[in-house]
Amino acid sequence: MTDSQLIREIKEGNLECYAELIRRYEKKILSFVTHLLRQAHLEHIAEDICQETFYKAYKSIHSFRDVEATFSTWLYTIARNSVLSELRKSRNSDVYLDDTLQVPMASPKTLPEQVLLRNERESMVRLAINNLPEKQRSALILREYEQMDYTEIATILNLTVSSVKSLLFRARQSIKGQLETYILDPQLDEAEGMNR
């Protein structure tokens, strides 16, 4: 069943279908929420916010219209808003990219020196991303790590597609400026996802 079909079933009273939606999106939403909370040292509440996201989505499912957005986009929007609300409550509005993001694995033929260099570069990229303003950082995480398209990101961030493209351009320019001396090897740049 598609998400739309499941939502129709839920709206008609088949609440068991909501468990399927949770199964489909729980890991992705938990990962996204954890990434946004980790540097604020609030990752311990990621599961609570993930559950809150699904609860809010369930309570509002009757107002969801799939002609305006996909369910996943709507769910990521709820998750992001829940995280930002929690960060405001905690008086810690900095949302950072964490060290647990999945990056391409090194080849078994890779030399130890190359692994060390790659790890250093990944660390520098994370630091550069963490220095971005919140909207640029969120847009970049959604695009590069969650693999979302511009329209989905625009919906989640409540922006136009051209604004998202502009945010991503400025974010990439800022990162490039911060990492000018570290961007020397195109193969390593590719691993860090910064050549898109």
Q: What is the pLDDT of residues 17-38, one digit of tens each?
A: 999 999 999 999 998 888 888 7
CA-to-CA distance for 75 and 54, rounded, in angstroms? 8
* 108's tokens: 């078994």
Q: Would residue 99 count as lying in a domain?
A: no
HEC sequence for the chain: CCHHHHHHHHHCCCCHHHHHHHHHHHHHHHHHHHHHHHHHCCHHHHHHHHHHHHHHHHHHHHHCCCCCCCHHHHHHHHHHHHHHHHHHHCCCCCCCCCCCCCCCCCCCCCCHHHHHHHHHHHHHHHHHHHCCCHHHHHHHHHHHHCCCCHHHHHHHHCCCHHHHHHHHHHHHHHHHHHCCCCCCCHHHHHHCCCCC
Q: What is the pLDDT of residues 46-62, one digit of tens each?
A: 999 999 999 999 999 98
Q: Would residue 140 count as lying in a domain?
A: yes
Q: Would residue 98 count as lying in a domain?
A: no
Last residue of a domain, one of 93, 128, 150: 93
CATH of the domain at 174: 1.10.10.10
Regarding whether 9 and 82 lie in a shared domain, the answer is yes
pLDDT at 66 over 90: no
CA 193 to chain centre: 14
What's residue 99's pLDDT?
46
Q: Would residue 26 count as lying in a domain?
A: yes
Q: Would residue 23 count as lying in a domain?
A: yes
Regarding whether 88 and 116 lie in a shared domain, the answer is no
Q: What is the pLDDT of residues 104-160, one digit of tens each?
A: 444 556 677 777 777 777 778 777 887 788 888 888 888 888 888 898 899 888 899
Regarding whether 115 and 79 lie in a shared domain, the answer is no
CATH of the domain at 8: 1.10.1740.10
Count of structural domains, the chain: 2
Regarding whether 87 and 17 lie in a shared domain, the answer is yes
Domain that holds residue 137: 111-190
pLDDT at 98 over 90: no
Q: What is the pLDDT confidence band of residue 45, given thresholds at 50, 70 and 90? A: very high
Task: Read off the pTM.
Answer: 0.64
Buried b or exposed e, range 147-164, using 16+ CB within 10 angstroms: ebebebbbbbbebeeebb
- Mean pLDDT of the region 58-87: 87
